[in-house]
């Protein structure tokens, strides 16, 4: 039982942490962020943050299958990751409507979706790389 709890915390605690960081950053009023005069810098921030979220979600979802990655399980994990990142991005945009000088933007949601998808693909690539390395080490 303790082993399952440790495994659960190992994979889902980072997910909760990244989600909490995104929520924390969403609480800042819009005028408190520095302006670096980079085109679409806020969209890049969304992509990076949601790539991190997508990575840890997909990593957690594929953890039970780490010894046998299959296409069906990987595809299920990827779709679930994209759906969860979309839902969290939607809730984040809604949350920002209550924060001074912040608004909900459709392009932010698109950036969240792109980032979550990218993070999911990175997690699947990472999982397959680890699986190959462990397979080579075992043989």
pLDDT tens for the chain, residues 1 to 139: 677 788 788 889 999 999 999 999 999 887 666 666 777 788 999 999 999 999 999 999 988 766 666 667 888 999 999 999 999 999 999 999 999 888 899 999 999 999 999 999 999 998 888 878 877 887 6
From CA 21, how far away is CA 97, in angstroms rounded? 18
Whether 111 contacts 47, CB under 8 Å = yes
From CA 32, how far away is CA 63, in angstroms rounded? 38
**Phi, then psi, of 51 in degrees rounded to 5:** -65, -40
pTM: 0.87
- Annotated domain spans of the chain: 2-27+39-138
* Residues in Cβ contact with 44 at an 8 Å cutoff, skipping those fewer than 6 apart: 38, 111
From CA 88, how far away is CA 47, in angstroms rounded? 13
């Amino acid at each position: 039982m303790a082993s399952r709890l440790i495994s659960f915390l190992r994979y889902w605690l980072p997910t909760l942490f990244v989600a909490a960081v995104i929520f924390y950053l969403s609480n800042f009023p819009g005028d408190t962020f520095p302006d670096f005069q980079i085109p679409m810098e806020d969209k890049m921030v969304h992509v990076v943050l949601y790539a991190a979220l997508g990575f840890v979600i997909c990593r957690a979802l594929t953890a039970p299958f780490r010894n046998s990655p299959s296409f069906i399980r990987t595809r299920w994990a990827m779709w679930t990751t994209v759906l969860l990142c979309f839902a969290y991005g939607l809730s984040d945009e809604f949350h920002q409507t209550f924060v001074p000088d912040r608004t909900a933007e459709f392009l932010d949601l698109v950036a969240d979706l792109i980032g979550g998808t990218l993070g999911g693909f990175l997690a699947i690539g990472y999982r397959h790389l680890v699986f190959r390395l462990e397979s080579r080490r075992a043989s």
